[in-house]
Structure 1
Amino acid sequence: MELAHVAICVSDLERALEFYGELGFEESHRFSLNGVENVYIESDGEEGDLQLRYDPDRTTPIAPSRADTDHVAFTVDDVEATFETALDAGGSAVLEPTEIEPADAYAAFVEDPEGYTLEFYREL
């Protein structure tokens, strides 16, 4: 079994595409269903897409909570560079690059413009 994609709701599709585009993601495909725009983005043709769901008729605010979804993790070659790129693209620092020995990882955490927490890591 392989993870196909993770879907997140966004309040501003263009802002989300710009932010993730700065991190190297490209649109792979899109469709609309019942008025909801679904845009799939991928990184360098790797398996596992991120699905951005935009509903222009949504009446409730998008309020990601780490109590419900803690974070979405991405493996990267250069944690520091990706962290800085995410900040420059409009993200907010949650945890600067640091060694996390119990996980055998070097990681940084950033909040995207919607409030989702992203982890960028590499194994030690």
Structure 2
Amino acid sequence: MVAILGQYCINVSDLERSVAFWEGVVGIPVVSRTEIETAREAVIQSPHGGSRMQLAQQLGQAGPIDMGTAIWKLYVNTDDCAALFERAVAAGCEAVTPPARLDRWPVTVAFVKDPDGYLLELIEYHQGTPATVPDPKKLEA
């Protein structure tokens, strides 16, 4: 038996705002859209691989997303942590932690909160990514 994690779904309060952030700021495009009776959805995925993420606006829900305690953070691999951090902050994201190179691992990380308040860890690997993880520094944009 083989099992592979393929897609994650998060609730968003404004689908078009979230799509604009993920496509326009982060650079991960929408690969499909779906409308069902209870929700509007968009699936995003890098053309270079990695997991898909579904953004879902629940039509019966108003107001901000209740973050609860289930999701801690979402990882975004990048070839330039500082530049993506600056783009996200310029687009209105809350800056949580500016880019810093870590002593324990060969990475630079930064943290921002996306338009719905999800904590994003922006991570730039300096000595290649873990096995099976696409390396943004070896791919063309």
Q: Does 1:113 align with 2:94?
A: no
How many residue pairs get aligned? The number is 123
- Indicate conservation of the 8 Å contact 1:107/1:121, yes or no: yes
Q: Does 1:30 align with 2:33?
A: yes
From 67, 89, 92, give the equivalent of 2:91.
89
- Indicate conservation of the 8 Å contact 2:13/2:63, yes or no: no
Identity %: 30
Deviates more, 1:106-115 or 1:17-26: 17-26
Deviation at 1:120, TM superposition (A): 0.9
- Indicate conservation of the 8 Å contact 1:19/1:90, yes or no: no
User: How high is the TM-score relative to the length of structure 2?
Assistant: 0.78
| Structure 1 unaligned regions, length at least 5 | none
Match of 2:44 in 1: 41
Match of 1:71 in 2: 73
**Largest Rg, 1 or 2:** 2
Q: Does 1:54 align with 2:57?
A: yes
Aligned CA-pair RMSD:
1.8
Deviation at 1:68, TM superposition (A): 2.6
The DSSP-based 3-state class of the residue aligned with 1:43 is coil
| Separation in 2, partners of 1:3, 1:94 | 28
Q: Which has the higher contact order (CA 8 A, sep 6+)?
A: 1
User: How high is the TM-score relative to the length of structure 1?
Assistant: 0.87
Please identify which structure carries the higher strand content. Answer: 1
| Structure 2 unaligned regions, length at least 5 | 127-141
Deviation at 1:85, TM superposition (A): 1.0
Match of 1:6 in 2: 8
| Separation in 1, partners of 2:21, 2:66 | 18
Aligned structure 1 segments of 4 or more residues deviating by more than 3 angstroms: none
Deviation at 1:34, TM superposition (A): 3.5
